[in-house]
Amino acid sequence: MAREFTSVGVVGLGTMGAGIVEVFARNGIDVVAVEISEGALERGRANLTGSTDRAVARGKLAEADRDALLSRVDFQVGLDALHSVDLVIEAVPEHLDLKQRLFAELDGICRPEAILATNTSSLSVTEISVATGRPNQVIGIHFFNPAPVMKLVEVVRTVVTSAEVVADVEALCARLGKVDVTINDRAGFIANALLFGYLNHAVAMYESHYATREDIDAAMKLGCGLPMGPLALMDLIGLDTAYEILDTMYRRGGRDRRHAPVPLLKQMVTAGLLGRKSGRGFYTYERPGSPKVVPDERTPAATGPGLADGARAIAKVGVVGSGTMATGIIEVFAKAGYEVVSVTRGAEKSAKVCEAVKTSLNKGVVRGKLSEDDRDAALGRVTWSATLDHLADVDLVVEAVVEELSVKKALFASLDEICKPGVLLATTTSSLPVIDVAMATHRPADVVGLHFFNPAPVMPLVEIVRTIRTSEETAATARAVCAVLGKTGVVCADRSGFVVNALLFPYLNDAVRMLEASYSTADDIDHAMKLGCGYPMGPFELLDVVGLDVSLAIQRELYLELREPGFAPAPLLEHLVTAGYLGRKSGRGFRDHTNR
């Protein structure tokens, strides 16, 4: 039977420590809240009262419950106040020597049976535990920020943590209303190990001027449904904290270059650009601690790199292709008021595309998203054709044919002969080099990537891919078209994966490697990313939806282009695809979907 914790101590009352105090006090547990000085203690008290007052103002906490909560907290200066508690959790800065000194002191102060816990997000719990004479009673209890809101707790056991201590802490997490995942002591645990490789990669994109900070953040929010873009999230975490976590993961996690902090990150920390807490990081904030972003001198007037003010007039658009993406793009352009010429191979395919567009528009009417008049007007703007010759007078052509380079190059060579001068030629490829397609024409300056996301009528993002030959006028026109479509266009260079896939799929691959190493289960990894990071889906849920074969193909392309060892596809992913485990479409992937 799990032990009953009646009193706990919390050392360090910054944002995280005060949040942990609130979690325990909300659940009827007496807390001794400790700081090193009266000034720090008052700041900690202000953190707690500010949080609970906000909860009352928002109707999340009754005034009587707030008063009862605060009455359970005993604010004290000095560790001696912790002599009789059942459990101590430290939430001091992420420095190993500091935590080791603290635990050595706690070991001499706390009762012999007390559990000593660290809230570290990246340091070795084992190295912290050996500073005590009771390493079997030391454990990691990693809350996520803000602790009163976030449901996840990572319970980190070392090789000597007793099974009873683990069971007691797991039961405590349940009492607190938290979802715990229990894991071994490894750099980054689950959430940070997966999150910070992705964040570091995003910083590298920004450092190399591959895309703007706004476009990188918009791409991941709109393309993946994430609550925050990676650079805005780095500002929230704190660039100094992020640097320390990455550096620790690099040194402790096998020196994977993907965890080596990007040089820009170190420079920004040295310059005092720490994110929200200092008032400036990747973005500038109204004041230190404020979430409100204000323009700064580093924000160009244009939202994309090198965009010209002028854009060509686009009135008539050709769409080539007969698949789901093509039909979605036809619908998007027609609803936005463009005249559209749909070109497919043969009358039969043309009829199928027409029927698919009609069906989708009718669904919009049924759902109240579209009036009957708007539906009829959109259909009236579309001309159905089975020959490329009908594209002779359009202003923009968007191809959405099969993802084979030879097919696309042949198509663009034909378009080069048929289309009038000045026409924008766009490819919707999600993985092929746009420059290869562009060089199949004699007008590479007019060729651009327009990567729509599926389903095109619903997804708000379009990646605008510039090659080294794409003109500024072409890029500006593409962005203007996206605006008319009601889409957010993000501009990036012509590199494998563009923005979204280049950041998303290495993260998914890292999750597969974590499972492959038997570090955790697919369910716990999914829980960690959904509950700890606010992701809409866990990595294995997403892999099954996308398709393991598609994921493997994209990861291979990224590895072949960048030659980064950390991008090599996980062997487990290759083996599953070889065995026919493709995800939902095959009925089996990382989970069994046959009865769902």
Output the 3-class SS for 529-542: HHHHHCCCCCHHHH
What are the structure tokens assigned to 8, written together? 């706990």
Count Cβ atoms below 10 Å from residue 359 Cβ, excluding itself: 11
What DSSP designation does 4 have? Answer: P
CA distance 449 to 446: 10
- In this structure, the strands spanning 87-90 and 7-11 are parallel
What are the structure tokens assigned to 576, written together? 């599953």
CA distances from 88 to 5, 62, 177, 555 (A): 11, 28, 19, 44
Output the 3-class SS for 133-200: CCHHHEEEEEECCCCCCCCEEEEEECCCCCHHHHHHHHHHHHHCCCEEEEEECCCCCCHHHHHHHHHH
What are the structure tokens assigned to 207, written together? 């450092």
Count Cβ atoms below 10 Å from residue 365 Cβ, excluding itself: 15
Catalytically active residues, by annotation: 121, 142, 154, 192
- Phi, psi dihedrals of residue 300, rounded to the nearest 5°: -70, 160
Cβ(13)–Cβ(44) below 8 Å: yes
Which region holds residue 94: left if phi is over 0, alpha if psi is between -120 and 50, else beta?
A: beta
What are the structure tokens assigned to 329, written together? 């793009």
What are the structure tokens assigned to 566, written together? 């950390």
Instruction: Give the CA radius of gyration of the chain.
Output: 28
3-state SS assignment for residue 178: coil
* Maximum distance among all Cα pairs of the chain, rounded to whole angstroms: 86
CA distance 34 to 543: 44
Cβ(215)–Cβ(451) below 8 Å: no
